[in-house]
């Protein structure tokens, strides 16, 4: 059965078509700069990557081109072969603790939650509306980045603010990257050969979050009401003293929009280093002797260690620490510095394995008290699996 996994951004559309249940990727690709000048798309079939420049006015047009590519490359004989389409949605609020089939009520709830994910939720709706027109026979589903974290207890997800702000305004911790944390924790349980595990999953990419997962359920996660909480990120500040916000708005005469923009787009690795939000540039800066890059890296790693230590205590121990996403999968220096910072817990690095990149591997030494693994994340296959489960 063919299932399409879709991640719609405001000007982009990423997709992977799967043969399920084998989980074989038949074609994948991305449409970029939709609705902007110089739009293009890239597709990958049988390991071959093709890039085409084409005017893309909207997402519907992108889906129509995708259909043409599927037919022209003989991946499907008819559109009816695509039985389901799963969509990534960033914010599901307290409404959704699992994936659901799309209907008008679901769409209106995703819309209602747009204030908490202004760049992502509206884009997902645009994608779903386009799918309804282009794929009238497919079952449409949504998979929420927040759903995996809905198992947190009230004492964990509440902020110590007036109690009724949660019910009145939805102010609480929702977390993010849930699909990735779920994927790597499932895979870790397979590697460990048991399900009653205590895991600390570190999704460290441009956006970054850490989760504490007990027996397959999330008990805590570092992101909050929005994805700007917890860890230091590429350009996001993560945890700060909340009073800095009114203080600096007053001092520097900043509007709410301006302070929000600074905390999300000009802080983190970029804000400290003054060089870049990309960890590769920071690593280059460190090599070139740039002290602000050294400082940014140290702060970045320190915060991750702090969260791992906190979750170690909260879980009452840890069976494995997992690294995933762009930095977690690729940056051996970041992993090494994190693991060395956890030596008090008996964590020891395996330098040879840790220098491998982008593949599933144990990166801690044989005698490390907590095994540490790199597990490349695969959010797309999780979306395909959930959608397939509704249809099979």
Provide CB contacts within 8 A for 19, sequence distance 6+. 1, 2, 26
Is 355 an interacting residue with respect to ligand AMP (CB under 6 A)? no
State the residue for tokens 């949504």. 142
Is 278 an interacting residue with respect to ligand AMP (CB under 6 A)? yes
Is 365 an interacting residue with respect to ligand AMP (CB under 6 A)? no
Residue 20, phi then psi, degrees to nearest 5: -110, 150
Candidates 325, 347, 361, 381: give the one binding ligand AMP (CB under 6 A): 325
Is 330 an interacting residue with respect to ligand AMP (CB under 6 A)? yes
User: In whole angstroms, how close is the CB of 86 to ligand AMP at the nearest point?
Assistant: 20
Structure tokens at 113: 């939650």
Is 279 an interacting residue with respect to ligand AMP (CB under 6 A)? yes
Is 235 an interacting residue with respect to ligand AMP (CB under 6 A)? no
Candidates 93, 224, 234, 271: give the one binding ligand AMP (CB under 6 A): 234
Catalytic residue list contains 55: no
Adjacent-strand bridge partners of 200: 212, 321
User: In whole angstroms, how close is the CB of 391 to ligand AMP at the nearest point?
Assistant: 29
Is 201 an interacting residue with respect to ligand AMP (CB under 6 A)? no
User: In whole angstroms, how close is the CB of 322 to ligand AMP at the nearest point?
Assistant: 14
Could you give the 3-state DSSP secondary structure of residue 168?
helix
Under rule CB under 6 A, how many of the chain's residues touch ligand AMP? Answer: 12
Stretch that binds ligand AMP, among 112-120, 140-148, 222-230, 274-282 (CB under 6 A): 274-282
DSSP state of 204: E
DSSP 276-318: -SSHHHHHHHHHTT-HHHHHHHHHHHHHHHHHHHHHHHHHTS-
Is the CB of 189 or the CB of 209 nearer to ligand AMP? Answer: 209
Is 117 an interacting residue with respect to ligand AMP (CB under 6 A)? no
Handedness of CA 90, 93, 96, 98 (dihedral sign): positive
Candidates 10, 73, 151, 206: give the one binding ligand AMP (CB under 6 A): 206
Q: Are 197 and 243 in contact (CB under 8 A)?
A: no
Say if strands 208-214 and 217-221 run parallel, antiparallel, or are unpaired: antiparallel
By C-alpha distance, which of 366, 277, 276, 358 is closest to 325? 358
Stretch that binds ligand AMP, among 46-54, 79-87, 121-129, 200-208 (CB under 6 A): 200-208
For residue 299, the tally of other CB atoms under 10 A from its CB is 16
Stretch that binds ligand AMP, among 166-174, 297-305, 319-327, 339-347 (CB under 6 A): 319-327
Is the N-terminal amide bond of 293 cis, ω within 30° of 0? no
Is the CB of 106 or the CB of 339 nearer to ligand AMP? Answer: 339
Candidates 84, 230, 268, 326: give the one binding ligand AMP (CB under 6 A): 326
Q: Are 65 and 53 in contact (CB under 8 A)?
A: no
| Interacting residues toward ligand AMP by CB under 6 A | 205-207, 234, 278-280, 325-327, 330-331
Which residues form the catalytic set?
145
């Amino acid at each position: 059965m063919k299932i399409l996994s879709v991640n719609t951004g405001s000007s982009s559309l990423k997709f992977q078509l799967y043969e399920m249940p084998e989980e074989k990727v038949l074609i994948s690709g991305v449409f970029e700069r939709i609705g902007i000048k110089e739009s293009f798309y890239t597709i990958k079939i049988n390991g071959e990557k093709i890039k085409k420049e084409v005017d893309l006015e909207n997402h519907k047009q992108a889906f129509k081109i995708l259909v043409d590519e599927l037919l022209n490359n003989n991946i499907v004989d008819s559109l009816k072969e695509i039985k389901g389409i799963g969509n990534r949605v960033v914010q599901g609020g307290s409404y959704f603790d699992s994936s659901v089939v799309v209907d008008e009520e679901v769409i209106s709830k995703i819309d209602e939650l747009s204030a908490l994910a202004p760049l992502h939720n509206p884009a997902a709706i645009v994608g779903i509306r386009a799918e309804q027109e282009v794929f009238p026979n497919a079952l449409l589903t949504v998979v929420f980045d927040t759903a995996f974290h809905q198992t947190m207890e009230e004492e964990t997800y509440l902020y110590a603010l007036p109690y009724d702000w949660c019910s009145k305004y939805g102010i609480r911790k929702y977390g993010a990257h849930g699909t990735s944390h779920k994927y790597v924790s499932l895979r870790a349980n397979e590697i460990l050969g048991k399900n009653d595990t205590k895991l600390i999953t570190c999704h460290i990419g441009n956006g970054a979050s850490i989760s504490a997962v007990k027996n397959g359920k999330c008990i805590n996660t570092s992101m909050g009401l929005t994805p700007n909480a917890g860890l230091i990120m590429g350009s996001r500040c993560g945890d700060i003293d909340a009073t800095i916000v009114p203080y600096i708005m007053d001092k520097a005469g900043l509007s709410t929009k301006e302070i929000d923009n600074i905390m999300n787009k000009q802080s983190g690795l970029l804000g400290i280093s003054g060089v870049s939000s990309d960890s590769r540039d920071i690593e280059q800066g460190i090599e070139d002797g740039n002290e602000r890059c050294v400082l940014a890296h140290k702060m970045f790693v320190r915060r991750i260690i702090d969260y791992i230590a906190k979750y170690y205590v909260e879980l009452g121990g840890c069976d494995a620490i997992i690294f995933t996403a762009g930095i977690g999968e690729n940056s051996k220096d970041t992993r090494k510095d994190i693991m060395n910072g956890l030596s008090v817990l008996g964590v020891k690095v395996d330098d040879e394995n840790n220098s491998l990149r982008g593949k599933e591997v144990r990166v801690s030494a044989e005698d490390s008290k907590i095994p540490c693994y790199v597990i490349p994340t695969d959010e797309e296959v999780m979306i395909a699996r959930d959608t397939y489960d509704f249809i099979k």
